[in-house]
Structure 1
Amino acid sequence: MNRRWIAQIVILVLSLALVVAVGVVSEVRTRRKEQGDSGSWQVQPLAIAHRGDDSAPENSTHAIANAGADGADYAEIDVRLDADGVPVVFHDRMTGRLSADGDDVPVRSLHTHELQHMIMRQHDENFHVPTLDEAVMAAQHVNDHLGLLLDLKTGSADAGKLTQAVSKVIEQRDFSGRVMIMAVNDDAIAHMRKLHPDWQIGKCVSPAGHPEVGWPRDASFVVMRGDRLDPAVVNRANRDNVPIYAGVSSDYREGGRCLKMGADGVLGSSARSVHELSNRFAVTMRGNEPGQRAERPVWR
């Protein structure tokens, strides 16, 4: 008798865990909005601003704020370690492309205070490299729902250090419900997955040519360049029940093509443009319509 009760409890716990997991996947995959008391809801692809909105310098707190103000669901930003082991928001390994004075040195060789006193310039605007902590605060300040998609810039040697440092910031700011994390490096993904198996942790893939596209079995999502997206990749994502987001830069016609093909969202330079594109592909779902599933809508 006791064994039977224990088995039933185990089955109940596993069933509840599966329901929670499906809910998380659906929430990440699309934006959902209830439609009053009609029993229907609206879903639409995620609008992700690449390196923040392009009206401000890339990866700056200004770009993050503008992304939230112009309707993005997430601002994608790049995160790497400085000499103090502090996660900072900067795409390149070297500072030269954005340094106002042309100083071209590795970010990893600069202490936090040195990096933040280095003047960067883009779009005729001077700015300073923010820490991840400052980026999170910027997202929290702009509204109550803007998320951050963190692209971890690291090799295998520093993967553990970076994931630990990023994890600490996210936990201290109580931001885990508004963050997605991705990396090209599989060791970084594995380290973060071990630290936080319940977080949304994905793979950034941009294969050259047309090789078979692969991602970790437990990936929460996949991000790849839109011009590399094809039906075979979409079918693979559908089979694995993994959301896939297409990076399209400023080519929003390409973004539309990717959404029609089955992508679950787009990364683009302009928050306003990806927001408008997402709105155009909104779908109203009704529970009594045969063949429709809220977790995998067909964009029209």
Structure 2
Amino acid sequence: MPVLAVAHRGDPYRFRENTLASVESALAAGADAVEVDVQLTRDGVPVLLHDRTLERLWRDPRPVGALTLDQLSAIGSPGVRVPTLAEVLKAVGETTGARLLIDLDEPGPVAATLAAVTGLGAESRVAYCGPVAAMLAVRERTADAELALTWRHPRLPSRPLLDDLRPYYVNPPFGLVDRAYVEAAHEAGVAVSTWTVDRRRTMRRLLDAGVDSLTSNRIALLRTVLGARP
């Protein structure tokens, strides 16, 4: 199987991360999937944002959870603002074969996120990543979702956890990954995705180690490296 090229929050070196323009740019650059982060507004709408507040990206100190969708939509401009998950799902749906990898850091947004996905009939176009609690919350609500368990430990998850969660990927940061790690994961029946890989040399090392998916802020470079492989 070819290695999956995943764009981290879109194409953030060209467009502001987790915006519709960033997602569309990543898809145009050849991303197989785009990893996005979800937070909830005060009225429970899933929107694309990594941080709990708008400070870093939008120079607004307020938490996104303190704002309604109408209030949030007034920040930025029509072309550059925090989009809803539904808006991005519709845009991705227009690109054949494209997928979203929805990153959930905690269980709180899970129910509303799944409702947005199922409401658009987009189940086959999304996967989910995140730590144990969030992924268990997803699995409790859907038996079929593709999961990538974010895992920050040098040892693989226990067999009982893998059996309960049934992740397709174990998803460690790239510094933990070598050939032995990948072989052990494959022996345990899970693929290996890793993040966030922006240097050409590191990409090549991880590909030589046998990883199944790479997430990068530099999706065009990752596509070039993958294209140069035998």
TM-score, normalization by structure 2: 0.90
- Residue 107, structure 1, aligned to residue 55, structure 2: no
Deviation at 1:170, TM superposition (A): 1.0
Q: Deviations over 1:86-140 (max 9, x none)?
A: 11110111111011xx3212111111111121228xxxxx721011101111212
Structure 1 CA distance for aligned equivalents of residues 221 and 82 of structure 2: 25
Q: How many residues align?
A: 224
Matches within 5 A, 1:221-260: 221-260=169-208
Q: 1:192 aligns with which of 124, 130, 138?
A: 138
Q: 1:144 aligns with which of 81, 84, 96?
A: 96
Deviation at 1:231, TM superposition (A): 3.4
- Residue 45, structure 1, aligned to residue 3, structure 2: yes
The equivalent residue for 2:85 is: 132
Structure 1 CA distance for aligned equivalents of residues 117 and 30 of structure 2: 23
Deviation at 1:47, TM superposition (A): 0.6
Matched AA of 1:221:
Y
The equivalent residue for 2:126 is: 179
Q: Is the 8 A contact 2:72 2:82 kept in 1?
A: yes
Q: Is the 8 A contact 1:45 1:281 kept in 2?
A: no
Deviation at 1:279, TM superposition (A): 2.4
| RMSD value, Cα | 1.9
Counterpart secondary structure, 1:98: helix
When structure 1 is superposed on structure 2, of 246-255 and 65-74 the one drifting more is 246-255
Q: 2:155 aligns with which of 188, 204, 212?
A: 212
Q: Is the 8 A contact 2:48 2:82 kept in 1?
A: yes
Matches within 5 A, 1:161-180: 161-180=108-127
Counterpart secondary structure, 1:182: strand
The equivalent residue for 1:118 is: 75
Matched AA of 1:267:
T
Unaligned 5+ residue runs, structure 1?
1-42, 121-125, 283-300
Deviation at 1:198, TM superposition (A): 0.9
The equivalent residue for 1:9 is: none
Deviation at 1:214, TM superposition (A): 2.4
Matched AA of 1:50:
H
Q: Is the 8 A contact 1:61 1:130 kept in 2?
A: yes
- Residue 273, structure 1, aligned to residue 221, structure 2: yes
Structure 2 CA distance for aligned equivalents of residues 162 and 219 of structure 1: 19
Counterpart secondary structure, 2:15: coil
- Equivalent pairs: percent with the same residue? 27
Matched AA of 1:127:
V
Q: Is the 8 A contact 1:227 1:254 kept in 2?
A: no
Q: Deviations over 1:52-108 (max 9, x none)?
A: 113211011111111111111001101121211111110111111011xx3212111
Q: Is the 8 A contact 2:75 2:81 kept in 1?
A: yes
Counterpart secondary structure, 2:109: helix
Larger Rg: 1
Deviation at 1:278, TM superposition (A): 2.4
TM-score, normalization by structure 1: 0.70
Structure 2 CA distance for aligned equivalents of residues 279 and 222 of structure 1: 24
Unaligned 5+ residue runs, structure 2?
none
Q: Is the 8 A contact 1:180 1:200 kept in 2?
A: yes
Q: Is the 8 A contact 1:182 1:189 kept in 2?
A: yes
Matched AA of 1:201:
L
